[in-house]
Amino acid sequence: MKDGTDNHPPIHAQRLRYDLKAKSTKYWLDGDAITTSFFNSLSVAFPLGEAFFIHSIRPWQTRIKGQLRTDIAKFIRQETDHCREHGAFNCGIEAGGYDTVRLKQRTKQVLARMQNESELTKLTYSMCCEHLTAILSAAILRDERLFARSDATVARLWLWHSVEEVEHKAVCFDTWLFATQHWSPARRWLTRSFALAMITAGFVKNRFLGQLDLLRQDGWTFRQAFPALVKTAFRKGSLGRSVVKDWLAFLRPGFHPWQIDDRALVAHCQAMLSRPLEPVGDVSEKPATTPKRVFSAA
Ligand SMILES: [Fe+2]
Ligand SMILES: [Fe+2]
């Protein structure tokens, strides 16, 4: 296996309907205001952001033949489902008393700037965003304690979305390889490395601003919220720290998303999804059973 492309599991389109009647608590993630605000801020951005990913990849679908064309169709189906279910979840955030208008407006402004770019540039941005969502999703799936004391319906929504993000993590990348097949390896490497740095800076900035906005509505001042945000994002065992290795892997010449072999992780979490919802319990003594991951060199 040279580039990892023969290493990916099939892409499923597993239907999930988020139960709108499920009453999630205000701080649904184990009473943690900071981490809840991160996921809520992310969820508010999803319907607009994922619609952009679909818009970016659709023009390439008819230019590609074979398995990748089928995978693009499955990618579109999965992202469409994610838009719909996070739209439902976002209604719950708003019903909980949060005003999300400014968060949506910020996402719209970012996407409006991208809309004026060429088809290939939009695909490049989407490919980088997909790398960020895939490595964040894998980190979420690896952390068995993250949602262990959360509302089970909400936890299932995030687990389902994270599994599908990892399943389709290479679709935009492979489409981008097709779109840039006449480029030199050096041009490809420089372009995607620069784009990832730019997209990551925007992602981190907008997540922090989104969290600050939501926390301000709960009475947090900037001086209270900002140090807590930074500490939560980058403390030992945090999602921020656990994505660093995968983020850096993208900068390797010859990188392919499936050089990070998440097949066992996906299979393990799909099995969890196939079981009925379990009541929230104390998992402090529960041993970690998440499969170990395998990295293959380029
Ligand atoms: Fe998604
Ligand atoms: Fe995605």
Q: How far is the CA of 43 from the centre of ligand 1 (A)?
A: 10
Q: How far is the CA of 284 from the centre of ligand 2 (A)?
A: 31
Q: Which of 8-22, 118-132, 191-205 has the lowest mean pLDDT?
A: 8-22
Q: Rounded mean pLDDT of 151-179?
A: 94
CA angle 214–217–220, rounded 5-degree value: 90
Q: How far is the CA of 215 from the centre of ligand 1 (A)?
A: 25
pLDDT value for 149: 82
Instruction: Say yes or no to pLDDT of 258 above 80.
Output: yes
Top-confidence residue, 12 or 134: 134
Instruction: Say yes or no to pLDDT of 282 above 70.
Output: no
Nearest ligand to the C-alpha of residue 167?
A: 2
Nearest ligand to the C-alpha of residue 169?
A: 2
Nearest ligand to the C-alpha of residue 161?
A: 1
Q: How far is the CA of 99 from the centre of ligand 2 (A)?
A: 26
pLDDT value for 286: 41
Q: Rounded mean pLDDT of 219-238?
A: 92
High-pLDDT (> 90) share of the chain, %: 71
pLDDT value for 284: 37
Instruction: Say yes or no to pLDDT of 293 above 60.
Output: no
Q: How far is the CA of 292 from the centre of ligand 2 (A)?
A: 23
Q: How far is the CA of 220 from the centre of ligand 2 (A)?
A: 32
Q: How far is the CA of 228 from the centre of ligand 1 (A)?
A: 27
- For residue 125, name the pLDDT band (cuts at 50, 70, 90): very high
Please give all residues whose CB falls under 5 A of ion ligand 2, grouped by chain where several chains appear: 165
Q: How far is the CA of 196 from the centre of ligand 2 (A)?
A: 15
Nearest ligand to the C-alpha of residue 43?
A: 1
Nearest ligand to the C-alpha of residue 126?
A: 2
Nearest ligand to the C-alpha of residue 16?
A: 1
Q: Rounded mean pLDDT of 132-144?
A: 95
Instruction: Say yes or no to pLDDT of 245 above 70.
Output: yes
Taking residue 90's Cβ as centre, other Cβ atoms within 10 Å add up to 20
For each of the domains in the chain, give its residue range(s) and CATH number, in order of start: 5-295 (1.10.620)
- For residue 73, name the pLDDT band (cuts at 50, 70, 90): very high
Q: How far is the CA of 291 from the centre of ligand 1 (A)?
A: 23
Nearest ligand to the C-alpha of residue 172?
A: 2
Q: How far is the CA of 50 from the centre of ligand 1 (A)?
A: 6
Q: How far is the CA of 74 from the centre of ligand 1 (A)?
A: 12
- For residue 30, name the pLDDT band (cuts at 50, 70, 90): confident
Instruction: Say whether pTM exceeds 0.85.
Output: yes
Q: How far is the CA of 216 from the centre of ligand 2 (A)?
A: 29
Nearest ligand to the C-alpha of residue 85?
A: 1
**For 83-93, what is each residue's pLDDT tens digit?**
999 999 999 89
Q: How far is the CA of 84 from the centre of ligand 1 (A)?
A: 10
Nearest ligand to the C-alpha of residue 84?
A: 1
